[in-house]
Amino acid sequence: MDLTYIITKFALIGIVFAISLLIAMYSTYFERKFASFFQDRIGPDRAGPFGILQPLADGGKLFFKEEILPSQSNMFLFIMGPSLAMLTACMTSAVIPWGTYIEVMGQQVELMVTDINIGILYIFGVVSMGVYGIMIGGWASNNKYSLLGAIRAASQNISYELAMGLSIIAVVMLTGSLSLKDMAVWQSQNGWIVMYQPLAFFIFLICAFAETNRAPFDLPECETELVGGYHTEYSSMKLGFYLFAEYINMFISSAVMATIFFGSYHVPFISSLNLPQNIAALIGVAALFAKISFFIFLFMWVRWTLPRFRYDQLMRLGWTGLIPMAIINIVITGTVILIKDLM
């Protein structure tokens, strides 16, 4: 029994890891493809049919590029930066429920790596570690542009993490649990949280853009001002790690948004169809990935629409816009819950 448990968990970890890498890989392809669609172009179409081998070609190119290590940099930290960014990006997916459970050889296999009761806090903890990767890399490069990018990343992530956390508190008050699985179950019984908490979702969405350092909040790697921002001095696969970590983060944020606000694996009216458990679970997984794909598309759509915020606009929006809004949302939610309890 214990052995099967370990084997299934390892298999799950492997699958989740592989899927997040695969999706990140193909996000780069679709990013380029969609960017060109938004600009009336075709995009990469040379490597394989429709250019679907483009990510492999890009990866191969990054591996064989000359690796430049600045002589005045702190070598240990310089290497640690991208490693940490990649590590934290890959760690987050552990607590996300990908589906209910499937039955394999008479055993129930939960489609979730681990259900810890502080799930959402774990995600916040790991995500806020992610900024260390950027900060350490930017600082260790010994380059003023890198340092400026790193400082921007740090201040931006700290500012927006606050609003993000506050927006989630209202959700937690509603579901009464920090575990993402409990949230998913709550939503399949009571309906998607976005219907109860549209404002929280709105704040969370904006903060997710800021946390993943994507346009319009891509000030840390702002090409027009800072050359390449925190990864100016990086080349070869270390640069690849930074870029890749961004796409994994995008995937994970999409997954978290789909899980918390859009019913996770829940498909409306699926329970009335009386499907066998395995098929229902797989449909649920497919539904979750459809929701995730939509959010990834939204990330790209916004990126290719909006110009970058100015630094003061970014700070004003975070501190005087989103945080007060999130606090008001908490107060309103609390009041409504209290009134409901009294009645």
Partner 1 sequence: MAAISYTNRAKQVSNKKLTFMERIYVPAILKGMSITIRHFFMRKVTIKYPEVKKFFSRNYRGVHVLKKDEQGRERCTACGLCALSCPAEAITMVAAERTKGEENLYREEKYAATYEINMLRCIFCGLCEEACPKQAIFLTNEEIAKADVDRGNFIYGKDKLVEKQHHPIGKIRGGGPIDEKYYHGNATVQSTFHKLELSHKL
Residues whose CB is less than 8 angstroms from the CB of residue 268 and which lie 6 or more positions away in sequence, other chains included: none
Asked if 183 contacts 175 with a C-beta cutoff of 8 angstroms, the reply is: yes
Residue closer to partner 1, measured from CB, 45 or 103? 45
Q: Report which of 204, 189, 183 is spatially closest to residue 329, judged by C-alpha positions.
A: 204
Give the x/- contact pattern for partner 1 in 294-313, rule: CB under 8 A.
-------xx-xxx-------
Q: How many CB atoms lie within 10 A of CB 9?
A: 15
User: CA–CA distance from 43 to each of 57, 194, 300, 301 (Å)?
Assistant: 15, 34, 14, 15
Map residue 61 onto helix, strand or coil: helix
**Scanning residues 58 to 77, which ones bind partner 1 (CB under 8 A)?**
none
Residue closer to partner 1, measured from CB, 184 or 215? 215
328 in contact with partner 1 (CB under 8 A): no
Residues whose CB is less than 8 angstroms from the CB of residue 95 and which lie 6 or more positions away in sequence, other chains included: 112, 113, 114, 115, 116, 119, 120, 122, 123, 179, 180
Minimal distance, residue 266 CB to partner 1, in Å: 27
Minimal distance, residue 44 CB to partner 1, in Å: 11
Give the x/- contact pattern for partner 1 in 105-124, rule: CB under 8 A.
--------------------
Question: HSE-up of 255 (CA within 13 Å, CB side)?
Answer: 29
d(CA 254, CA 72) in angstroms, rounded, equals: 38
Amino acid at 298: L
Minimal distance, residue 318 CB to partner 1, in Å: 13
Size of the site for partner 1 (CB under 8 A): 15
Minimal distance, residue 134 CB to partner 1, in Å: 26
Identify the residue among 41, 61, 144, 310 touching partner 1 (CB under 8 A). Answer: 41
Give the x/- contact pattern for partner 1 in 255-294, rule: CB under 8 A.
----------------------------------------
Minimal distance, residue 292 CB to partner 1, in Å: 19
Minimal distance, residue 314 CB to partner 1, in Å: 12
Cis peptide before 216 (omega within 30 of 0): yes
**Scanning residues 11 to 40, which ones bind partner 1 (CB under 8 A)?**
34, 36-40
Write out the residues near partner 1 by the rule CB under 8 A. 34, 36-42, 45, 301-302, 304-306, 321
